[in-house]
Every structure is written in structure tokens, then in C-alpha cells.
Amino acid sequence: MKCIQYAQFGPAADVLALTDRPTPNPAAGEVLVELSHSGVNPSDVKARSGSRPGVTKPPFDQIIPHSDGAGRIVAVGDGVPRTRVGERVWVWNGQWQRAAGTAATHICLPAAQAVPLPDDISAETGAVLGIPGLTAAHAIFGGGDVAGQTLLVQGGAGTVGLLAVQLAKWGGAKVVATARGDGLAAAEKAGADVVLNYADPDLAEHILAANDGAPIERIVEVEFGLNVATNAEVIAPNGTMAVYGSARDMAPSLPFGPLLFKAVTIDILLIYLLPQAQRDAAITRLHAALSTGGLHCPVAQVFSLSETALAHEAVEAGGRNGAILVDVQA
């Protein structure tokens, strides 16, 4: 099989190499997926660059990066029904705590990590459903139905944010989103009822005004450290912050008093560790939204396998309105 691999941390162009390796055979309980597309996420880029705190060297001698992907099952191991051969699937946690991810023409992984992909859903969309899709679905619905609520999506123009806006609207919520630049129009197109510039010095006041002065029941947060003070000001008593990022401030100071006297729940999401029941619920929501036209997974750019370093650089550059994919067969 063809794949991209790296053996040391560093810039994408310096450490990512296209190579040939033997196609693996599925072990008991596993499936072999012939991939068509691989999703490139910020976590993949951080893992390759060595920017994760406390990690000084790669955990394996050779790593095939990326967690997300889509393709077709071509072989199964013992204990997996042979009827799954030929099934279109999307995969999650491809390279989580494993050496071999989805930046390859093939991947072996536990059968449960290959989710049947409905026939009317494209492989490109399937490759976005892992980290971005599951994060967005759990961030929106992790506390149950949202119909009739008002949700704030901080960073509503990122890959997760755009999906979160759509899912919240599909779920019957009113959505206030924050973005800036071209992202303002992107979040509005995704369905946000109100879109505000997150750099506005009076952001909290404008968030409350957008909800007719009422506080916000649930907040989906991409930059917890930067936004926690604003969130504490606008969140409702017993409200929840569903937090999936804080890249620009990894050691935030919390306004504990306001959070305490509103009994705020801070729900920190790491989608790799999502318990099975919650993951199944998120998958069900994603498929339902897709099947009813309530969710579109925007793709900003698709690169060939040999251009994977360029795909990593596109993620690092930011400012995109959609996912970055690699066509691993190109």
C-alpha cells in the first residue's frame, strides 16, 4: 500500500514522506478498509509538529498520520461478519494511540471504528464525520435535545463550528454564532440566526441583545481561555459550556465567582475518549441530520496523497471555511 509516514517531529515538508509498505491483514475483530479520503485535522498537525505539551518524541518509530477517513471494507478478520466486505464506511480514531492512521490507501482497525456510510452520502463527507462531526454532534446534543433553546457557538466558521451551527438549527435551537472576516458570512450561510464579530469589545452585551436580553443555555466553545469571561457573563444559571479547544490559552484563569453562582457546568470534550453510548448517540444524530438535509460538510480543499505536506500547511494556515482532505488514491 502507499502511505505517508514520519519518524520525527518537524515541519510537514521536512518530515512527511511518501512510501510503500505491505498492505496489512486484519486481525481478529478487525476490518481492512481501502480508503478513498483522509481527513486532516488540527490535532494531526500538532501531533506531527511535536507541539503537544510534554511530548518530546513520536510514540512509534514510524507513524502514518490522521484519524479520520472514508472508504470501503475489503477484508475482515475472525469474528467479523463476511457480509461487511464491500461495505462503504467512515472511520474514527484511525491513528489514536496506534502507529497507522488514514494517510494511506489502506488501514486495519477494530470493526466498530468502521461506521457504515449511507449510500447517498459522499466519501468526502464521510472523511469529515470523525473528529469534526462527532465533536460538533456531542457539543450540541451531549446534554440532550436543544429544541427551543438558544445556543452560542463561539468560532462558528471553523470546521467544527460550521457543523455545530447546522446541527443546532436542525435540532430546533436558536443559534448565535461568533466569527470574523469572511467567517461572518459563512456562519450566517450555515444557518446562524445572529452572527457577531468575536473581536467586538462589547461582545457580551451584543450576545445578550441577540437573545432579547435572556442568558444563553448552552455554549459551544473553541477558545475556552480567551472567552471564558465573556461566557460567564452571558450564560444562564445551570447552563453548560461544551468546550473542545483552548489553543491560544492552555492555562486559563477562571472567573470562579460568576461561574459558581450560576452553577455552570464546564464539559470538556475529547472526542477520542467519548464513551461508546455517547459516540453511538452522536453517530445517530449525524446520520439523521445528513439524511434529512440538515447537515452539509463543507470541504475547502482536497490534496493528493503526495501533497499531504501541503494539506498540513493548509490546516496550519487557518482562515479556511471547510475541511482539508487528502485523496489517498490520487
Are 15 and 55 members of one domain? yes
Residues 217, 266: one domain? Answer: yes
Whether 267 and 149 map to the same domain: the answer is yes
Same domain, 113 and 208: no
Distance CA 58, CA 60 (A): 6
pTM, full prediction:
0.96
Distance, in Å, from the CA atom of 159 to the CA atom of 190, rounded to the nearest integer, reads 11
146/124 same-domain check: no
Same domain, 122 and 161: no
pLDDT in tens, the chain (330 residues): 999 999 999 999 999 999 999 999 999 999 999 999 999 999 999 999 998 878 889 999 999 999 999 999 999 999 999 999 999 999 999 999 999 999 999 999 999 999 999 999 999 999 999 999 999 999 999 999 999 999 999 999 999 999 999 999 999 999 999 999 999 999 999 999 999 999 999 999 999 999 999 999 999 999 999 999 999 999 999 999 999 999 999 999 999 999 999 999 999 999 999 999 999 999 999 999 999 999 999 999 999 999 999 999 999 998 888 999 999 999
- Same domain for 96 and 174, yes or no, is no
Q: Let me know whether 96 and 38 are in one domain.
A: yes
Looking at the structure, do residues 123 and 209 belong to the same domain, yes or no? no
Q: Which domain holds residue 40?
A: 2-128+297-327
11 domain residue, yes or no: yes
CA 218 to chain centre: 19
Number of domains the chain contains: 2
Location of C-alpha cell 466569527: 179
Kindly state whether residue 203 falls inside one of the protein's structural domains: yes
- Identify whether residues 121 and 138 lie together within a single domain: no
DSSP secondary structure, 283-323, as one string: HHHHHHHHHTT-----EEEEEEGGGHHHHHHHHHH---SSE
Residue 127: how many other CB atoms lie within 10 Å: 34
Indicate whether 225 belongs to any domain.
Answer: yes
